[in-house]
Amino acid sequence: MGFSLDFLMQGFADALSWTNLFWAFVGCLVGTLIGVLPGIGPSAGIAILLPITTMIPPTSGIIMMAAIYYGAMYGGSTTAIVVNIPGEASSVPTAIDGYEMAKQGRAGPALGICAIASFVAGTIGIVGLTLFAPILSNVALAFGPPEYFALMFMSLSLIISLSGRALLKGLIAMSLGLLASLIGQNPLTGAARLTFGWVDLMAGLNFISIIVGLFAISEVMINVERSAALIYESRIKGWMPTWEDIKRSFGAMLRASGIGFFLGLLPGCSPAVTTFIAYDAEKRFSRHPETFGKGAIEGVAAPEAANNATSTSGFIPLFAFGLPTGPPLAVLLGGLMMYGLQPGPMLFQQNPKFVWAVIASMYIGNVILLFLNLPLVGWWARIALVPFPILGPLIALFCIIGAYGIRFLVFDVWVALIFGVIGYLMRKLSFPIAPMVLATVLAPMLETSLQQSLLLSQGSPVIFFNRPIAAVFMALAILSILRGAWVQFKTHAPEIALDDADE
Amino acid sequence: MKRYQVVTGVALLGLFVLGAAWGSRSAWSQEKPYPTRQITYMVCFDPGGQSDREARRQQPLLEKILGQKVIIDYKVGGGGALGWREITKAKADGYTVAGFNIPHVILQPLQQDVGYKMEQINPVFIFHSTPLAIAVLENSPYKTLQDLIDFAKKNPGAVSVGGSGSFTGYHMATLRFEKLTGTKLTYVPYTGAAPQMTSFLGGHVTAVFGASDDLTRFRDKLRVLGFATDKRFPGFKDVKTLKEQGIDMVEEVFRGVAVPPNTPPNVIKTLEAAFMNIATRPEFQEEQRKGGFVPQAMGHEETKAYMKKMTAIYTELAAGLKKK
């Protein structure tokens, strides 16, 4: 089951066959497209294309579906940077600095750095997958409910740095986010909450509708109000990142790749979660934290690297145990099983040709994506030059299609529109939006793991502190909260505001 | 003035004729040939899950038998409730069918208002089941079911049992097990079978009530202590049933397809025949068995009777539990 160069070389030979190369390319292209469109995520994309896979050989089919997943991570950043609308939940942190860069006329370099960071992280991720798959697969199992709760709690404490100067407003935004995700059935007991007897609310609010509303629709509304002619008016300086940009963000890419890779091994730690953690880590690590939120290129590179590393390392528990770490991988698992391929330790022994061909194809896929994305950078960045009276309605249209596409329910469209209004009001009153999104993304897992942990411990919260992994996360979270509070009260001119709400 | 009256009269007459024609057309539609256009097959759980995989296995065969395109559509949420509410409200013409699970459709409306009633689920066919079994990890100190029960009796609440969701077959199995053995366990629900098994394999719960296909998948990592079945499970021939060990309980999840209430009988017959054709194919059954499923082939009437029987059992169980 361990690493063998022979197997990898054989894998490359298979992956480089014309058929496999073609399907890898198709997957990359579709993935990028899905990433660009807000609302339509990789799970839906893979699910829609599943029927095609019954017509092509298993290896090609899985190669294509895998390419859609990591390809979507490349595409998600595009609209986040150019028009401040994250194409995927995982690109929310990218929008913070990416959009600022775009406003300064540096959309091209921001997009370029995304492609490069994605490539670097994707490749690091695959090297990790190649060499350590068998060893690392156990990490997923070490995480039980208490560990998850501690990790989610730590992630939630990032709100402090995400809200910057406006700590109180950030906390209010967070509470709103948590409240919104409470609507619907309790994920474990099924008890209905905050539905007011309205059956449509039973299934809860989908966080993709919430994100589409908060970011995209409110952005359109703000621009309409300003009767903007363009999304932002500024000279565009250069399409490509400079060597200086790459040098500045290279460290960030490597660190974020590491964070994304390890968190990606855990079921439930979707790229949407890891990108926030990577962004925050980079901000703390940086010698110039004041530039974050004002167009720091590291702030773009870090989340983009993290989401690619996460999507790649998710294949480790999938192949090694048959454990999907997120919905797109669950669909992939379904695909594997449709072909009669049983993931698990036996997969490496019984179908080595298949496994290594897929792994090898991921190296190739990343190269394809780099070439697919870098030359198109200028083209994507030009979207912002489309006059707003044309672009605005188009964005609104895509938002509505995207929101409808989640579950094919008109209800989700209404949710997106309502959150558009909420997002508009929040921007007007300069409430930061990112903490609300983070809270909505984390809440289901936070709640589930808290309930499960307390059941396991029969009500005692000590369970979060007497298990080593959980204790470390809890300590980090508490330190982060104390530090945030101290900075807030002591200095009055604290960490740098990360107010994506103010203009 | 008179002309207007004539015109109005003619118009009214025309409307009347049209209306009559419309009415008789809808009367004919009762015996309309079926199917004449594409059919939507609703899956009420996430893509990649058991329901989805089964639907996709059936899809090409259904298309061949029915001679129409079959589209798979997802309505996911509320542990299936969202899609089942949808199917009870859909047009009763047979062009929308939905996958459904027992005991979910029985237990959910018992617990709270979920927008549909069990009686509104109009079953066409049941194609497979996954029996539940209690299992511990391979390296667990509990070698037999008796070991586990003895420990649980001495340490009430210390044995944690993982399952998928609350008021599900998994939860019911645990509650029935507690009642019949006189033990006190700690039931830990998960959001689905996948996280349930992950947490179990990581050693975070003592035992699980797991579905037979999941137990088959991870068979070399765990030890099954007893199957909640009438007869021994073919995939685990040497594992005793709970009945053999003196615990009289059977707990299985059945999967099938349903149509809206008041669907014309000829439509139900056509669909039933199509599913029967698929379910009785040896290669299809073989594939099911390999994956740890039990192939079933229960038609419309048989399923209805079965649902009625199970509803009575669960209603009593749920009432007994509430009193506690």
Higher pLDDT, B201 or A1: B201
Residue B236 and residue B224: Cα distance in Å, rounded?
Answer: 8
What percentage of residues in chain B have a pLDDT greater than 90?
66
* Token pair belonging to B133: 């079994």
Name the minimum distance, in Å, from the CA of B31 to any CA of chain A.
31
Tell me: pLDDT of B298 over 80.
yes
CA atoms within 13 A on the CB side of B242: 23
pLDDT per residue as tens digits for the range A277-297 = 999 889 888 888 888 888 899
pLDDT given at position B73? 84
* Token pair belonging to A264: 């990606």
- HEC sequence for A99-162: HHHHHCCCHHHHHHHHHHHHHHHHHHHHHHHHHHHHHHHHHHHHCCHHHHHHHHHHHHCCHHHH
Contacts of B280-284 with CB under 8 Å at 24 or more apart are B281/B61, B284/B57, B284/B61
pLDDT given at position A494? 42
Mean pLDDT value of segment A407-411 = 81
Report how many Cβ contacts below 8 Å link chain A to chain B: 139
Does B138 reach chain A within 8 Å, measured CB to CB? no
| Fold of the B34-128+253-323 domain | D-Maltodextrin-Binding Protein; domain 2 (3.40.190)
Mean pLDDT value of segment A247-275 = 89
Which of A157-161, A320-324, A464-468 ranks highest by mean pLDDT? A464-468
Tell me: pLDDT of A440 over 70.
yes
Tell me: pLDDT of A305 over 90.
yes
Q: What are the residues whose beta carbons fall under 8 Å from the beta carbon of B315, sequence distance 6 or more?
A: B110
Q: How confident is the model at residue A342 (pLDDT cuts 50, 70, 90)?
A: confident
Mean pLDDT (chain A) is 85
Q: How confident is the model at residue A261 (pLDDT cuts 50, 70, 90)?
A: very high
Distance of CA A315 to CAs A129, A360, B60, B265, Å?
8, 13, 29, 47
Residue A213 and residue B80: Cα distance in Å, rounded?
Answer: 26
Contact B48 A199 (CB under 8 A): no
The closest CB to that of A190, out of B48, B167, B203, belongs to B167
pTM of the prediction?
A: 0.83
- Judge contact between A434 and A500, C-beta under 8 A: yes
pLDDT given at position A492? 58
Tell me: pLDDT of B9 over 60.
no
pLDDT given at position B21? 47
The closest CB to that of A334, out of B53, B82, B186, belongs to B53
Helix (H) or strand (E) holding B139: none
Contact A334 B217 (CB under 8 A): no
Residue A478 and residue A461: Cα distance in Å, rounded?
Answer: 15
pLDDT per residue as tens digits for the range B73-104 = 888 777 788 889 989 999 999 999 999 999 99
| Phi (first) and psi of residue B96, to 5 degrees | -130, 120
Q: Which CATH number fits domain B130-236: 1.10.1760.20, 3.40.190.10, 3.40.50.970, 3.30.70.1450?
A: 3.40.190.10
Give the SS3 label for residue A22.
Answer: helix
Q: Which residues of A391-403 are buried (b: 16+ CB within 10 A; e: fewer)?
A: bbeebbebbbebb
Domain with CATH 3.40.190.150 in chain B: 34-128+253-323
> Reduced to 3 DSSP states, what percent helix, strand and coil does chain B have, rounded to the nearest 5?
50, 20, 30
Residue B32 and residue B168: Cα distance in Å, rounded?
Answer: 39
Q: What are the residues whose beta carbons fall under 8 Å from the beta carbon of B155, sequence distance 6 or more?
A: none
Using a CB-CB distance cutoff of 8 angstroms, which residues of chain B are in contact with residue A47?
47-48, 74
pLDDT given at position A201? 85
pLDDT given at position A340? 74
pLDDT per residue as tens digits for the range B239-293 = 999 999 999 999 999 999 999 999 999 999 999 999 999 999 999 999 899 889 9
- Burial, B7: exposed, middle or buried (Cβ in 10 Å; 0-12, 13-18, 19+)? exposed
Residues 275-314 of B with CB under 8 A from A: 287, 291
Residues 140-159 of A with CB under 8 A from B: 140-145
* Token pair belonging to B181: 């053995």
Give the SS3 label for residue B40.
Answer: strand
pLDDT per residue as tens digits for the range A461-502 = 999 999 999 999 999 999 988 888 887 777 654 444 444 433
Helix (H) or strand (E) holding A396: helix A388-407
pLDDT given at position A499? 42
Cβ neighbour number for residue A389 with a 10 Å cutoff: 13
Cβ neighbour number for residue B129 with a 10 Å cutoff: 22
- Ramachandran region of residue A499, left (φ > 0), alpha (ψ -120 to 50) or beta? beta
Residue A357 and residue A61: Cα distance in Å, rounded?
Answer: 12
* Token pair belonging to B48: 């990649």
pLDDT given at position A491? 63
Cβ neighbour number for residue B270 with a 10 Å cutoff: 18
- Ramachandran region of residue B281, left (φ > 0), alpha (ψ -120 to 50) or beta? beta
Mean pLDDT (chain B) is 88
Beta strands B122-137; B294-298: pairing state:
antiparallel
Does A469 reach chain B within 8 Å, measured CB to CB? no
Cβ neighbour number for residue A429 with a 10 Å cutoff: 10
Which of A259-268, B40-49, B303-312 ranks highest by mean pLDDT? B303-312
Residues 252-291 of A with CB under 8 A from B: 267-268
pLDDT given at position B23? 46
pLDDT per residue as tens digits for the range A27-50 = 999 888 888 876 677 877 787 777
Contact B112 A321 (CB under 8 A): no
Q: Which region among B20-24, B118-122, B204-208, B263-267 has the lowest average model confidence (pLDDT)?
A: B20-24
pLDDT given at position A51? 67
Whether residue B103 is preceded by a cis peptide bond, meaning omega within 30 degrees of 0, is yes
pLDDT per residue as tens digits for the range A61-90 = 999 999 999 988 888 888 888 888 887 788
pLDDT per residue as tens digits for the range B140-192 = 999 999 999 999 999 999 999 999 888 888 999 999 999 999 999 999 998 88
Question: Per-residue DSSP letters for A416-440?
Answer: HHHHHHHHHHHHHTT--SHHHHHHH
Mean pLDDT value of segment B198-224 = 93
